[in-house]
Amino acid sequence: MQRSCQAIILAAGQGTRMKSSKPKVLHQVAHLPMVSHVAKAAINAGSQKISLVVGPDMDPVLKAVRSIHKNVQSHQQIERLGTAHAVLAAESDLGQPLDDVIILYGDTPLVESQTIASMRAALSNGADVVVLGFRAEKPDPYGRLLEEEGQLVAIREAKDASEDELKVDFCNAGIMAFSGKIILQLLKRIDNDNAQKEYYLTDAVELANRSGLKVVAMEAEEAEVQGVNSRLELARVEATFQQRARLNAMTEGATLQDPETVYFAHDTEIGRDVVIEQNVVFGPGVEVADEATIRAFSHLEGAKVASHCVIGPYARLRPGADLREAAKVGNFCEVKKAVIDQGAKVNHLSYIGDAHVGAKANIGAGTITCNYDGFNKSKTEIGAGAFIGSNSALVAPVIVEEGAIVGAGSVITKTVEANSLTLTRAKQMALSNWATKFREKNSKG
């Protein structure tokens, strides 16, 4: 029988060291709020329910988490009286708890779903409390996890640790998992008999030991459990995410010619045998299919790139760009909310927005779909096999039918018939010897 699970995400901190007007957990890593990363990990590890603990006036935090999962209950922690106090803000959700309860932090965005799943597995194998730890290169500021014969007996804060305990490099990451049957009774036994007069969740370890419960520690990489309290730490977490994403892309069969210059979003999907050149940036919502090529200095967001497409260099794909198989978008081109159909080419210095470019159509350099009149966006339809000459303006709404040719420098405002040639430029004139006379006249002055 599958075990049920709920996650409690603590996100009430204002994060004053961020020096920001918005809650700390809304600052983004790879284009997604930190708290949303945590919610995704919880859901992917099997959590059916999320309890979110926030401070006053933090509705945007709830909105960010509900964008990941609808089953979210929000609870306010008015006073900041410690981590156990924060968890108890969600007490109403613990009256009938699920099998597993996972305590997570909204400012620890790199925790992986596999790690949470491993903690749940320990609960299913008989543990009552599971604590996540890491081996620190510089353990000085962290609480130490003290073990005896496989049992975690205490979490000792550095300031309270003995000389021998300070030699331990196994440190507390803060993330914990509890059997739903015992979490509430443990939380209610935690007191604030300490210098700070706060209720510490870590005290649950010693209380559980006194009750004869099984308490175990699990280990994660230090990079995975990095917390964020400042802009500097946010940058470090972003760097860790990008290293992970690059490694994953290459492991799954993509070629990154200069990995350190490629930047991914949280949801970027890259197929096999994709080649990504230098200085490429992926915004949210990008899918790149097998054997596509993304050339240097391109920026993609909200775009679909089919197999065998070639993008760039210096191309920009904006939201709604949909490139079908073997399409090309080249140098200094921008595509927005447009389908570039199979084998079509937009190779040079063009803007294609709110449009459909038919299969094997060719868009000449400097072509613009004039899609906006100051109030409304209108669509341009370009048929299969059409040829649009350089420096043409297609004033939407307008249709260029299949196989039509538009001469260079044209301004198209009406339907272009299939297989026709349409020209709108002025007739060329020549005034013989005019240039010579003009130069002579101006050189006398």
Q: Supply the CATH number for residue 374's domain.
A: 2.160.10.10
**Using 50, 70 and 90 to split pLDDT, how confident is the model at 445?**
low
Tell me whether residue 253 is in a domain.
yes
Catalytic residue among 69, 85, 348, 356: 348
Residue 209 sits in the same domain as residue 263? no
How does the average pLDDT of the chain come out, rounded?
95
Pairing of strands 334-340, 351-357: parallel
Name the residue among 130, 1, 111, 142 with its Cα closest to residue 45.
111
Predicted confidence at residue 249, as pLDDT, reads: 98
Output the domain CATH number for residue 118. 3.90.550.10
Distance spanning both ends of the chain, measured CA to CA: 97
**Residues 300, 180 within the same domain:** no
136 lies in the same domain as 240: no
Pair (29, 158) in one structural domain = yes
Does residue 107 sit in helix, strand or coil? coil
Query: How many domains does the chain divide into?
Result: 2
Q: Which domain holds residue 49?
A: 5-225
How far is residue 391 from each of residues 93, 366, 407, measured CA to CA in Å?
Answer: 63, 4, 9
- Residue 92 covered by a domain: yes
Two structure tokens written together for 216: 């175990």
Query: Which residue type sits at 164?
Result: D
Name the β-bridge partners of 348. 331
Distance CA 230, CA 216 (A): 31
Buried b or exposed e, range 158-178, using 16+ CB within 10 angstroms: eeebeeeeeebebbbbbbbbb
Indicate whether 300 and 346 sit together in one domain: yes
Extract the tokens encoding 439.
């130069």
Residues 188 and 317 in one domain: no
What's the pLDDT band for 133 if we cut at 50, 70, 90?
very high
143 touches 171 (CB < 8 A)? yes
**Are residue 157 and residue 92 in the same domain, yes or no?**
yes
If asked whether residues 149 and 281 sit together in one domain, one would say no
- Cβ 355 vs Cβ 379: under 8 Å: yes
Given this model, what pLDDT does residue 355 score?
Answer: 98
More confident of the two residues 164 and 108 = 108
What burial letters (b/e) apply to 70-103, b meaning 16+ CB within 10 Å?
A: eebebbebeeebbbbbbbbbbeebbeebbbbbbb
For residue 99, give the DSSP letter: S
**Residues 48, 78: Cα–Cα separation, whole Å:** 26
SS3 at position 54: strand
Helix axis angle, 59-66 to 34-44, nearest 10°: 40
334-346 tens-digit pLDDT: 999 999 999 999 9
3-class secondary-structure state, position 392: coil
Q: Are residues 254 and 153 in the same domain?
A: no
Does some domain include residue 427? no
Q: What is the pLDDT of residue 71?
A: 87
Q: Does residue 445 fall inside a structural domain?
A: no
Q: Quickly tell me which residue has 């490139």 as its tokens.
A: 323
CA distances from 192 to 32, 83, 200 (A): 36, 11, 8
Q: What is the pLDDT of residue 57?
A: 87
> Binding site membership: which residues?
10-13, 24, 77, 82-83, 105-107, 143, 157, 172, 229, 318, 336, 351, 362, 365, 371-372, 390, 408, 425
Question: Which residues are annotated binding-site positions for Mg(2+)?
Answer: 107, 229
**pLDDT at residue 362, as a whole number:** 98
pLDDT above 80 (res 389): yes
| Annotation marks residue 348 as catalytic | yes
pLDDT at position 291: 98
CA distances from 409 to 355, 371, 389, 392, 397 (A): 19, 18, 7, 5, 19
Per-residue pLDDT band at 356 (split at 50, 70, 90):
very high
Which of 225, 252, 277 is the C-terminal boundary of a domain? Answer: 225
Binding site per annotation, positions for UDP-N-acetyl-alpha-D-glucosamine: 10-13, 24, 77, 82-83, 105-107, 143, 157, 172, 229, 318, 336, 351, 362
- Tell whether 306 is covered by a domain: yes
Whether residue 39 contacts residue 50, with contact meaning beta carbons closer than 8 Å, is answered with yes
- Same domain? For 310 and 265 the reply is yes
Q: What is the spatial distance between Cα 59 and Cα 241, in angstroms, rounded to a whole number?
A: 27
Distances (CA, A) of 12 to 24, 47, 87, 227, 384: 9, 21, 11, 14, 56
pLDDT (average), residues 82-105? 92
- Let me know whether 101 and 188 are in one domain: yes
Shared-domain flag, residues 133 and 157: yes
Whether residue 10 is contained in a domain is answered as yes
Binding site per annotation, positions for acetyl-CoA: 365, 371-372, 390, 408, 425
